[in-house]
């Protein structure tokens, strides 16, 4: 009988992991890496925030890995929801997005680690192990930068201009860059059109953009640079 023959059932001492990512191939690749470890097993997978909350309630995992780009409910909001409902559940973000912009955000939201997908093949099981052990996992470079930011604030000057956006503003900015209009973004985030328009105004002000056309152009370029 193979290790993954019965999802949700595992030998004593084996940590149950749920993978949340909207790309099936990525989920399968991560599951293959994790299931090679004797003390870890993927008990469930989810493609979005709604599925993630359902699977967490069903399987009671020891850790959840989360991508930041999940469609209707972004990864940051999902982290906050999980933290609110399951405050002791460790979370590790595995994402393509720039660590310098997102690592501190996900830690503030409640996750215990951040690893970029480019590094995941080599380091994901180490990162999971560290987080399961109660530690925080970020790259060495990011760790140094976070320490500096607490000591003297010098790291803030190294954050891209987009780093000035709040978590929700960043989410709206990313959706604009993916080509969604105001009405669709409002539907996806379950917010009013007026609220999204307010976020757009704040984003334009913080990024010193003149109008909606410049906002769209900048957002599209930024999203492209993150892919």
Residue 8 domain flag: no
Distance from C-alpha of 26 to C-alpha of 23, rounded to nearest angstrom: 5
Q: Which domain holds residue 34?
A: 15-149
Are residue 129 and residue 167 in the same domain, yes or no? no
Residue 149 pLDDT class (50, 70, 90 cuts): low
For residues 114 and 189, what is the distance between their CA atoms, to the nearest angstrom?
24
Q: Is there a single domain that holds both residue 181 and residue 138? A: no
What is the structure's pLDDT at 39?
A: 94
| Same-domain pairing of 141 and 45 | yes
Query: For the segment 163-210, what is each residue's pLDDT rounded down to a tens digit?
Result: 888 888 988 998 898 888 999 999 888 889 999 999 999 999 988 888
The pTM score is 0.69
- The answer on 119 and 59 residing in a single domain is yes
| Listed residues 149, 173, 204: the one ending a domain | 149
Q: Per-residue confidence at 10, pLDDT binned at 50, 70, 90? A: low
pLDDT digits (tens, 9 = 90+) for 32-79: 999 999 999 999 999 999 999 999 999 999 999 999 887 666 888 899
Q: Which of 149, 174, 202 is the last residue of a domain?
A: 149
Domain boundary residue, one of 149, 183, 214: 149
Most confident region among 7-11, 136-140, 207-211 by mean pLDDT: 207-211
Number of domains in the chain: 2
Helix (H) or strand (E) holding 41: strand 40-46
For the CA atoms of 175, 176, 181, 185, the dihedral, rounded to the nearest 10 degrees, stands at 30
Average pLDDT rounded to a whole number, residues 145-170: 66
84 lies in the same domain as 144: yes
CATH code (residue 199): 1.10.10.10
């Amino acid at each position: 009988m193979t290790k993954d023959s019965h999802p949700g059932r595992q030998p004593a001492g084996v940590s149950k992991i749920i993978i949340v990512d909207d790309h099936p191939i990525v989920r399968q690749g991560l599951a293959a890496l994790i299931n090679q470890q004797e003390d870890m097993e993927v008990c469930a997978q989810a493609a979005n925030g709604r599925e993630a909350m359902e699977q967490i309630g069903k399987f009671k995992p020891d850790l959840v890995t989360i991508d930041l780009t999940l469609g209707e409910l972004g990864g940051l909001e999902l982290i906050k929801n999980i933290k609110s409902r399951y405050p002791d559940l460790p979370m590790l973000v595995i994402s393509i997005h720039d660590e310098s912009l997102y690592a501190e955000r996900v830690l503030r939201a409640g996750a215990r680690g951040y690893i970029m997908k480019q590094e995941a093949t080599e380091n994901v099981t180490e990162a999971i192990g560290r987080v399961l052990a109660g530690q925080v996992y970020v790259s060495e470079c990011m760790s140094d930068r976070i320490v500096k930011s607490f000591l003297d604030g010098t790291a803030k000057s190294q954050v891209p201009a987009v780093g000035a956006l709040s978590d929700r503003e960043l989410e709206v900015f990313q959706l604009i860059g993916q080509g969604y209009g105001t009405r669709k973004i409002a539907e996806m985030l379950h917010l009013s059109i007026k609220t999204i328009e307010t976020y757009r105004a704040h984003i334009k002000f913080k990024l010193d953009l003149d109008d909606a056309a410049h906002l769209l152009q900048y957002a599209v370029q930024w999203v492209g640079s993150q892919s």
